[in-house]
Amino acid sequence: MPHPPRIRAAQIRVILVVVLLLLSVSVTESAIGVNWGSVSFHRLKPSTVVDLLKDNKIQKVKLFDADPDALKALMGSGIQVMVGIPNEMLAPLSSSTAASDLWVRQNVSRYVVKGGVDIRYVAVGNEPFLTSYSGQFQSYVVPALLNLQQSLARANLAGYVKLVVPCNADAYESSLPSQGAFRPELTQIMTQLVQFLNSNGSPFVVNIYPFLSLYGNSDFPQDYAFFEGTSHAITDGPNVYSNAFDGNFDTLVAALNKMGYGQMPIVIGEIGWPTDGASSANLTAARTFNQGLINHVLSNKGTPLRPGAPPMDIYLFSLLDEGAKSVLPGNFERHWGIFSFDGQAKYPLNLGLGNKLLKNARNVQYLPSRWCVANPSHDLSDLANHMKLACSVADCTTLNYGGSCNGIGAKGNVSYAFNSYYQLQMQNERSCDFDGLGMITFLDPSVGECRFLVGVTDTTSSGFAPYERWIIVYVLIVWFFMV
């Protein structure tokens, strides 16, 4: 005959264990993560990047696609992963459950296995509501979400892998945080999105960039972009805002509150400060911003509208510099990394994860220590076309106004351009010719903070850049359904 008291005691013990587990999850889940982008001329081995993440105790990483090389390297690492779906993929995924099944099978199910990749989120698009896109992706977002959710359910992953939509902060607006509201033309779709996120236990993901506010507005008070106090605080009723991050975050909180979801968890999908390519982009400013942000978030102070409740997670933008990114937004676009392209820390930073300082990447495979520079024994007066050619292919953004190499003189500029091209061509001897105006040297021509790089060996096994790969996948999907 059973003994109820013992059963109840056993049940209580089980409940206590479950509660303790849940509490431990809630404490450890909130963390500092990073964005790992791969739009680079000199890509580190994915395994080297994963080792870099582990050495720095970074437990959360966000990818902008489902790069198979990166995902293979992340297998067994224990690092929590957010994989991304590029905006160009939203149309086919929104119109076909077969397409969404195929995507989930190829990019999630195959990796979420024992000893595999801990994929926690799928980012459906990247800032698809951005004003500059003029609504071209808008109608695809919710149908793609619904199809992908069904596909995850069919794969028995719907309870574990959450769908999110990273939004730019331009999705909402207000002169004061407490009056925050989504842009009028987004009200309907944002209502659908937030209802979907809420019903599936997903957070709202937003990208916040105080740097861009400062860069794009000459009247923006510089000290308001940081976390060290300001003489330009914003008073909003009983609340006082001393930094742009809190003001922006609470504007979103108010917008969600207007929809009845004021307690929805919020994840910061991207936030950071570049180190080059603009007058306000430098090592000192980047360190001051990122360290101030980390300290602010980990203090658990929260914001005026969410006191004691900081963002659920924050993904710094970004882990590495990406020298092949478009510079249409500005030359700084290639210099967001807390590490340079070769995994070397740019400045001291305590991520609050156990290490007081960043640890550099190990076992980086460099090309030989040699550089291409302008030959001083030749007339260098007519170099415009050669320099233009080099910089049309390689990254010369540090030479422009506000860049770390802006002050090295005309001959230095030429040498920098020649070397950037030479390294990109994997130090092919002919790529340093420039009609006899270039020469190879074994003496490092770097000057002060202006670093003349040496490339890393090309290790990208797929042979395609991420965007090219997605175009191929897209074509295959279309072909699959036409045959």
What is the pLDDT, as a whole number, of residue 384?
A: 84
**Is the pLDDT confidence value at 407 over 50?**
yes
The fraction of the chain above a pLDDT of 90, given in percent, is: 84
Identify whether residues 144 and 245 lie together within a single domain.
Answer: yes
**What's the chain's average pLDDT?**
90
Count helices and strands in the chain by DSSP H and E runs: 13, 17
Report which residue type is found at 270. E
Average pLDDT, stretch 246-255?
Answer: 98
Same domain, 289 and 425: no
Same domain, 316 and 405: no
Asked if 127 is an active-site residue, the reply is: yes
| pLDDT of 3 strictly over 60 | no
Kindly state whether residues 161 and 94 are assigned to the same domain: yes
Distance between CA atoms of 322 and 332, rounded to whole angstroms? 10
pLDDT at 7: 37
Question: Which ranges in 225-270 belong to alpha helices (H)?
Answer: 244-258
> Same structural domain for residues 255 and 311?
yes
Q: Are residues 328 and 375 in the same domain?
A: no
Residue 353: burial class (beta carbons within 10 Å; 0-12, 13-18, 19+): middle
Buried b (16+ CB within 10 A) or exposed e, 108-130: bbebbeeebbbbbbbbbbbbbbb
Q: Which of these, 424, 434, 446, lies nearest to 383 by C-alpha position?
A: 434
The per-residue pLDDT for range 190-205, each reduced to its tens digit, is 999 999 999 999 999 9
pLDDT reported for residue 14: 32
Whether 366 maps to a domain, the answer reads: no
> What is the pLDDT averaged over residues 100-115?
98
Mean pLDDT of all residues in 116-137: 97
Is the omega angle on the peptide bond into residue 318 within 30 degrees of 0, that is, cis? yes
Handedness of CA 404, 406, 409, 411 (dihedral sign): positive
| pTM score, whole prediction | 0.89
Q: Which domain holds residue 288?
A: 31-334
What average pLDDT score do residues 454-467 get?
59
- Identify whether 456 is part of a domain: no
Q: Which of 120-129, 175-184, 426-435, 457-466 has the lowest mean pLDDT?
A: 457-466
pLDDT at position 381: 77
pLDDT of residue 458: 62
Among 88, 173, 185, 270, the active-site one is 270
Structural tokens at position 196: 């979907």
Q: What is the pLDDT of residue 30?
A: 60
State yes or no: pLDDT of 464 exceeds 70: no
- One-letter identity of residue 35: N
274-332: per-residue pLDDT in tens? 999 998 999 999 999 999 999 999 999 999 999 999 999 999 999 999 999 999 999 99
Cα 325 to Cα 296, 394, 397, distances in angstroms = 30, 11, 11
What band does 380 get if pLDDT is binned at 50, 70 and 90?
confident
Residue 55, in any domain of the structure: yes
Residue 133 to residue 135: CA distance in whole angstroms = 5
pLDDT at 45 over 60: yes
- In one-letter notation, the amino acid at residue 151 is S
**Residue 237 within any structural domain of the chain:** yes
SS3 content of the chain, % helix, strand, coil (to 5): 40, 15, 45
Query: Do 322 and 401 share a domain, yes or no?
Result: no
- If we measure between CA atoms, which residue out of 396, 379, 378 comes closest to residue 387? 396
> What confidence category does residue 466 fall into, taking pLDDT thresholds of 50, 70 and 90?
very low
| Catalytic residue from among 29, 127, 173, 429 | 127
Same domain (yes/no): 177, 305: yes
Out of 35-39, 237-241, 339-343, 383-387, least confident range: 383-387
State whether the Cα torsion 34-38-40-46 is positive or negative.
positive
Residue 467 pLDDT more than 50? Answer: no
SS (H, E, C) 135-185: CCCHHHHHHHHHHHHHHHHHCCCCCCCEEECCEEHHHEECCCHHHCEECHH
Neighbours of 384 (CB within 10 A): 9
Task: Select the highest-mean-pLDDT range: 119-123, 227-231, 279-283.
Answer: 119-123
The torsion angles phi and psi of 341, rounded to 5 degrees, stand at -55, -25
Q: Which of 11-15, 379-383, 400-404, 416-420 has the lowest mean pLDDT?
A: 11-15
pLDDT band at 31 (very low <50, low <70, confident <90, very high): confident
- The answer as to whether 83 is a domain residue is yes
**49-67 residue pLDDT tens:** 999 999 999 999 999 999 9
Clarify whether residues 181 and 263 are in a common domain.
Answer: yes
Structurally, the chain folds into a number of domains equal to 2
State the pLDDT at residue 459: 55
pLDDT at 440: 98
132 assigned to some structural domain: yes
Tell whether the model's pLDDT for residue 477 goes beyond 90.
Answer: no
Q: What are φ and ψ of residue 74, in 5° steps?
A: -80, -10
What is the arithmetic mean of pLDDT over 460-464?
Answer: 41
Same domain, 376 and 272: no
Looking at the structure, tell me whether residues 81 and 221 fall in a common domain: yes
Q: Is 323 exposed, middle or buried (0-12, 13-18, 19+ CB in 10 A)?
A: buried
Angle between helices 466-482 and 97-104 (to 10 degrees): 140
The answer as to whether 10 is a domain residue is: no
Residues 244 and 127 in one domain: yes
Would 362 be classed as within a structural domain? no
pLDDT at 22 exceeding the cut of 70? no
Instruction: Evaluate if residue 469 carries a pLDDT over 90.
Output: no
**CATH at 196:** 3.20.20.80
